[in-house]
Amino acid sequence: MKFPKGFQEKYEQLLGEEASSFFMSFEKEAVAGFRTNPLKEVQQTFEQSIPSMPWSYYGKVNGKSPEHVSGLLYSQEPAAQVVGQVAAPQEGMKVLDLAAAPGGKSTHLLSYLGNTGLLVSNEISKKRSKILVENIERFGARNVLVTNESAERLAKVFGGYFDMIVLDAPCSGEGMFRKDPAAMDYWTSTYPSECAMLQRDILTDAIKMLAPNGVLIYSTCTWSPEENEEIVQWLIEEHDAILEEVPFINGMVKGIGMPQVARMYPHHFMGEGQFVARLRFSGNSKNQKRKGSRSNLTAEQQQLWKEFSDKHLQTVLTGILQTFGEQLYLLPEELPDLSKLKIARNGLHLGTFKKKRFEPSFALGLALQPREVISKIELTEEQFYRYAAGETINVDPLFPNGWYQVLAAGNGLGFAKVSQGILKNYFPKGLRFR
């Protein structure tokens, strides 16, 4: 592999005797991994689990398989999975994933939260936020809000609010060179320092959003000390952060002159490049007055939702019911006023109000476990591929007409209507494939 000018010299100096092993690792194939989703029903076993990492496995995921399309499996390389594991938020926490797209770290955080507390998953890029929404929706979590904002604007709404913030910061991307050689096109000897300036700006706003005794997980997919240990040192000196030790597993190594932080090198760790640090802050002690979100349903809308949920659901969904136009969403509780923010996904999309009726959403059918729904239809693998292509499915004529949760690989794949022995196709057109 031909490296950008200055890269090899930099890491020969930093790594010394280890440099040759480091550079040889780039000739090997990138390591793939995936996680299972604890919010879903796992009906099979998987080989090659990643040691000391719950839900984590080595291997590739077929993006068109029932397991992936229904959100049971999420593809994420092993080093990137370490960030969520170091964070490991406790149930009930309020968490911000500040630079979240495409969604790997957010879905990992949601695995720990288990539909409790709140995750605000943010992505400043509008295009990337759409991908984030799709991945969050497929994962089936109910306690997540997706925003499309800068850290500066978020800080004006969420000051002193979060128990934990995860920032996988925009960086020089050295750890992705093996997986994505195109990342080398952007690298110059000054690029890491340029990235470090941006990282400081984002962190300055991020810290304002931490509650007292809040935790910041800071990570990058680069090895450059300017973006890693030097940033952590700046947080300690300028913002009174307390550095907490990261657990070292699977070949993770200690930071350069900073033994509490972790580095993942491909000649030690079976995965790509990553850096991660865990810091605790005294936080913003101001008790800000917040105008919370409230339900805005009309009496008719409340009645239509109640009729649907009483007839079809075996669970009570807790949260704030809000309409945006004719669309009904379930928002997590204890949210501040969001009216000044760009929202990419207003909580869990429950469905659409139409003339004198309520139509459930694809997202609701993904989020509910089969035991939470009264009527469901399990597709065979052959039927799944036909349904994903947009076809209708013949079912037992004895099935009464009405709404059913569609199941694939034991998990929800939206809702669909049965009419006269035909399961109509409600699989979103933008997601269909053959």
pLDDT of residue 224: 98
The answer to whether the CB of 241 falls within 8 A of the CB of 280 is yes
Q: Would you say the C-alpha torsion 5, 6, 9, 14 has a positive or negative sign? A: negative
Phi first, then psi, for residue 13 (nearest 5°) are -75, -40
Query: For the whole model, what pTM was predicted?
Result: 0.96
Q: For residue 285, what pLDDT is reported?
A: 54
Strand ranges (DSSP E) for 133-221?
144-147, 162-168, 210-220
Tell me if 82 sits within 8 A of 264, measured CB to CB. Answer: yes
> Binding site annotation covers 196?
no
Backbone angles phi and psi of 100, in degrees to 5: -90, -25
Q: Catalytic site residues? A: 221
181 marked as binding residue: no
* 102 prior amide bond cis, ω within 30: yes
> What is the pLDDT, as a whole number, of residue 1?
86
Per-residue model confidence (pLDDT) at position 16:
97
Cβ contacts of 263 within 8 Å, gap of 6 or more = 223, 228, 252, 253, 254, 255, 256, 274, 275
Q: Is the dihedral of CA 382, 388, 391, 396 positive or negative?
A: positive
What is residue 102's DSSP assignment? T
Q: Is 99 annotated as a binding residue?
A: yes
User: Which position has the token pair 């006023």?
Assistant: 337
Q: Per the structure block, which two tokens stand in for 415?
A: 């809702």
Note the pLDDT tens digit of each residue in 14-47: 999 999 999 999 999 999 999 999 999 888 899 9
Averaged over successive runs of 10 residues, the pLDDT of the chain (434 residues) comes to 94 97 97 97 92 97 96 98 98 98 98 97 97 97 97 97 98 97 95 98 98 98 98 97 96 98 98 98 66 86 97 96 96 92 96 96 98 97 98 95 97 97 97 95
pLDDT of residue 288: 58
Closest CA to 324 of 343, 304, 307: 343
pLDDT for res 294: 84
DSSP state, residue 372: G
Looking at residue 289, its pLDDT comes to 59
Strand order in the sheet with 393-394: 376-378, 402-408, 411-419, 422-423, 393-394
Per DSSP, 246 falls in state P
What letter represents residue 281's amino acid?
F
Query: Residue 101, annotated ligand binder?
Result: yes
Tokens encoding 7: 């890269």
Query: Which residue reads 């280890």 in tokens?
Result: 18
104 is in an annotated binding site: yes
CB 426 within 8 A of CB 405: no
C-alpha 385/C-alpha 59 separation (Å) is 23
Q: Which of 272, 284, 131, 102 has its CA nearest to residue 205?
A: 284
CA distance 86 to 261: 11
| Residue 38 annotated as binding site | no
By the 8 A CB rule, do 132 and 100 touch? yes
Answer yes or no: is 168 a known binding residue.
yes
- The answer to whether the beta carbons of residues 330 and 297 sit under 8 Å apart is no
